[in-house]
């Protein structure tokens, strides 16, 4: 733990509190929206707009952070907006207000993400990047274990009391806001004088970025195009005969494995190489998707969700650590934000593509095809210098 600085600890706690709040609402969000009159189509439009807002703003605010030479204000404002949005969704049920509150939450995520990851990168050396990012992912994902567990516990005693749950979620959000105020700015990058940040500046960065960055991000985006929403895995678990409670249970179990292994695998990645660990994670992903396509027994589903947790632990933090290692320090937030923006677009397309293949050819074809593509990408990443 000697590589985990005070700033990394604070950022990790902020993420823990924030994810606890957001994941507390994740399982009940569609149910709540339907209860106040939202149709399935309207829910889909709401989530699409919200995620697009988060994704496309990451590149812009990442570039702005690099141009200004500041990180902390973006982090603090981003977490503040996300925390305030949760009780707002319970105050009024007008569709326009719900759209505003939900989009505000994702906008906050877009503001903070690249700057936060740049701070994590600055707090590490090239030899400790994976362990630092891995520790942050462990703490962040622990919130994804605590949040749904607290929500299930509350709804067990107070069934269908969704509105109160939104107010309760504001409590860990407040902890996140106060903790973010403890982060101190490191003056290790000079502001770019008289440089205005336009909304598409991060796209221009792609043209001038290092070749290795382009090759790495190309592979990551190709994978994102086939890495559809976790909802499809949960639907497959439901299709295999799991009850609603068991489906939520395996989702919590997956996050628990993810949280437990992200930091240890980050330490191993620093020793064996980020590329090797990421390729290992993709190999695990292939096994999971081949298994989901071919197996339906309960014990197989549980094992596959365990492996899926290992995949996330071996890739999520590693990919950002890898990007920060192949780009100039002054462009860290821009590089990560640019990738995150493009990734969000690919992720939206991935779920649409997976849904279409599922509808036309069935679940098994969807999972086997994804497994095959990811297996090919293992070779691609291993060949990167």
Closest CA to 7 of 175, 136, 177, 112: 136
CA–CA distance, 160 with 2 (Å, rounded to integer): 45
Close Cβ partners of 303 (under 8 Å, ≥ 6 residues apart): 291
Tokens 């939900």 found at: 102
Does residue 101 sit within a domain?
yes
Token pair 């994670």 is at which residue?
281
Tell me how far apart the alpha carbons of residues 12 and 292 are, in angstroms, rounded to a whole number: 32
Does 329 fall in a domain? yes
Q: Is the alpha carbon torsion for 355, 359, 361, 367 positive or negative?
A: positive
HSE on the CB side for 277, CA within 13 Å? Answer: 30
- Asked if residue 191 is part of any domain, the answer here is no
d(CA 309, CA 322) in angstroms, rounded, equals 20
Structural domain boundaries enclosing 129:
6-184+203-383
Considering the domain boundaries, does residue 190 fall inside one?
A: no
Task: For residue 46, give both structure tokens.
Answer: 């709401």
d(C-alpha 165, C-alpha 113), whole Å: 26
Instruction: Give CA–CA dist 367/16, Å, rounded.
Output: 31
Q: How far apart are CA 34 and CA 176, in angstroms?
A: 29
Among 379, 338, 293, which residue's Cα sits nearest to residue 58?
A: 338
- Interatomic CA distance for residues 46 and 56, integer angstroms: 16
Output b/e per residue, 196-233; b: 16+ Cβ within 10 A: ebeeebbeebbeebeeebebbbebbebbbbbbbbeebb
Burial class (CB in 10 A: 0-12, 13-18, 19+), 153: exposed
Number of domains in the chain: 1
**193 belongs to a structural domain:** no
Q: Which tokens belong to 362? A: 């069935």
The answer to the question of residue 35 being in a domain is yes
Residue 343 placed within a domain? yes
Enter the DSSP assignment of 198.
Answer: P
Which is nearest to 305 in space by CA: 257, 347, 369, 363?
Answer: 257
Residue 298: phi and psi, rounded to 5, are -60, -45
CA 113 → CA 60, 105, 351, 370, distances in Å?
A: 11, 13, 22, 28
Q: What is the pLDDT along the chain (385 residues), one digit of tens a residue?
A: 777 999 999 999 999 999 999 888 877 777 777 778 877 667 767 766 777 777 778 888 888 888 888 899 999 999 999 999 989 988 887 888 888 888 898 889 999 999 999 999 999 988 899 999 999 999 999 998 999 899 888 888 888 788 899 899 999 999 999 999 999 887 766 666 555 666 666 778 888 889 999 999 999 999 998 887 777 787 788 777 777 678 778 888 999 999 999 999 999 999 999 999 999 999 999 999 999 888 767 788 889 999 999 999 999 999 999 999 989 888 899 899 999 888 888 887 887 788 888 888 888 888 899 999 999 999 999 988 7
Both tokens of residue 337?
A: 């934000």
Domain membership of residue 52 (yes or no) is: yes
* CA–CA separation, 154 and 57 (whole Å): 34
Domain CATH number, residue 357? 1.20.1250.20
Q: What share of the chain is helix, strand, coil (3-state, %, to 5)?
A: 80, 0, 20
Taking residue 80's Cβ as centre, other Cβ atoms within 10 Å add up to 18
Cα separation, 322 vs 346, in Å, equals 20
């Amino acid at each position: 733990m000697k590589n985990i600085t005070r700033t990394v600890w604070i950022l990790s706690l902020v993420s823990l509190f924030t994810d606890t709040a957001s994941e507390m609402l994740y399982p009940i969000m569609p149910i709540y929206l339907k209860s106040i009159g939202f149709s399935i189509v309207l829910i889909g439009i709401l989530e699409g707009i919200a995620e697009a807002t988060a994704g496309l703003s990451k590149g812009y605010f990442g570039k702005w952070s690099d141009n200004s030479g500041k990180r902390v204000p973006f982090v603090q404002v981003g977490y503040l907006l996300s925390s305030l949005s949760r009780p707002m969704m319970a105050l009024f049920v007008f569709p326009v207000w719900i759209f505003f509150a939900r989009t505000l939450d994702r906008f906050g995520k877009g503001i903070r993400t690249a700057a936060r990851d740049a701070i994590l990168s600055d707090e590490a050396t090239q030899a400790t990047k994976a362990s630092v990012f891995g520790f942050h992912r462990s703490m962040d994902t622990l919130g994804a274990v605590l949040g749904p567990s607290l929500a299930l516990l509350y709804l067990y005693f107070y069934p269908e009391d969704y509105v109160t749950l939104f107010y309760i979620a504001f409590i860990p959000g407040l902890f996140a806001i106060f903790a973010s105020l403890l982060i101190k700015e490191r003056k290790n990058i000079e502001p770019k004088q008289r440089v205005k940040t336009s909304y598409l500046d991060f796209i221009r960065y792609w043209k001038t970025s290092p070749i290795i960055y382009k090759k790495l991000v190309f592979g990551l985006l190709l994978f994102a195009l086939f890495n559809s929403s976790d909802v499809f895995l949960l639907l497959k678990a439901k299709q295999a005969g799991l009850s609603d409670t068991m489906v939520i249970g395996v989702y919590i179990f997956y996050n628990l494995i993810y949280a437990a292994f992200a930091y240890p695998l980050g330490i191993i990645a620093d020793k064996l190489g980020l590329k090797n660990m990421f390729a290992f994670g993709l190999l695990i992903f292939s096994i999971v998707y081949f298994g989901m396509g071919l197996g339906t027994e309960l014990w197989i589903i549980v094992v596959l969700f365990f492996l899926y947790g290992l995949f996330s632990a071996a890739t999520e933090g590693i990919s950002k650590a890898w990007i920060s290692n192949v780009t100039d320090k002054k462009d860290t937030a821009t590089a990560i934000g640019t990738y995150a923006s493009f990734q969000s677009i690919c992720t939206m397309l991935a779920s649409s593509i997976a849904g279409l293949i599922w509808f036309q050819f069935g679940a098994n074809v969807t999972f086997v095809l994804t497994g095959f593509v990811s297996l090919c990408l293992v070779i691609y990443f291993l060949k990167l210098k």
